[in-house]
Amino acid sequence: MCIVAVAWQLFDEMPLVLLSNRDEFLQRPTEPLHQWSDQPIYAGRDKKSGGTWLGVHREQQASFYEQNGRWAAVLNYRDGVQASMDERSRGGLVTDFLSSGISPMAFARQISLQDYAGFNLLIGDATQAVVVNNRGHAPTPLYSGLHVISNGQPDDGWFKTEKLRGRLRQEVLPLIAEDDTFAYWQEAAFDVLSDSRQAPADKLPDTGMTNEIEQVLSAIYIEPVAFGEVASDSPTYGTCTQSILTLRKDDNKISRIAADIVSREINTHHLA
């Protein structure tokens, strides 16, 4: 289901800090973070559909990597409507944007929304960030600030989004303001992403799922859980990857912006 937090234009030397948990069925074949050989993309890869959930533009040249500061993340939209076989992969939205040359807003406006199952898409470069979905949220520029989005509308105040927002404001953003060296605040960020506290029963969203499933999905970090017709001791779903994506100003002659992703695979999530 996933959750993404974006600190946008809050720090002079680091215009973007993005934290993400990817929640997925544990058997879905996935490649970890790497430089793609067939496209100018640095990201993990969904081997089933060929797309990705989070990535940056990066193209290998003879002796260096060229970057243009483009980044993107996609989340599914949870409303009880099942994806159909003829719909395009939502991960293709990320790869299409990272491989294109048009502005984030222009790209968002030309998406054929009806071609995809429900999604929330965040796309940007060093100067503009845009959020759009195909459930009634038109392409909208992000204002400078902290934005936390999960599987509802971008402005929904779910327990998990508000929990992540609060912890980032209290525990991570002050560290970055004090010292933006990645090693200084990395563990604090991953610790916040690993919060597995579930919502109280009276704070569960209503997205068409049963209360039992809503409860499981209400945490920032989803512990391995059995979904579907399987034995209760055989987990099939959970948080699989935790990632931190940053854009940092760079005095390198090749590029003014350096984009980077650090991901942590949750290796304990395996089927028996």
pLDDT in tens, the chain (272 residues): 699 999 999 999 999 999 999 999 999 999 999 999 999 999 999 999 999 999 999 998 877 888 999 999 999 999 877 767 789 999 999 999 999 999 999 999 999 999 999 999 999 999 999 999 999 999 999 999 999 999 999 999 999 999 999 999 999 999 999 999 999 999 999 999 999 999 999 999 999 889 999 999 999 999 999 876 555 568 899 999 999 999 998 765 445 788 999 999 985 443 33
What is the C-alpha separation between 124 and 246, in angstroms, rounded? 12
pTM (2 d.p.):
0.94
- Which CATH number does 3-265 carry? 3.60.60
* 3-state SS, residue 35: strand
pLDDT of residue 268: 45
What is the C-alpha separation between 61 and 230, in angstroms, rounded? 47
Q: Which residue is it, tokens 């209360």?
A: 211
Domain segments of the chain: what residues?
3-265
For the chain, how many residues are written? 272
> In this structure, which amino acid lies at residue 51?
G
- Which long-range contacts (C-beta less than 8 Å, at least 24 apart) are formed by 56-62? 56/98, 56/245, 56/259, 56/260, 56/261, 57/98, 57/99, 57/259, 58/259, 60/35
What is the C-alpha separation between 95 and 85, in angstroms, rounded? 20
R_g of the chain, CA atoms, integer Å = 18
- Determine the Cα angle at 123 with ends 121 and 129, to 5°: 120
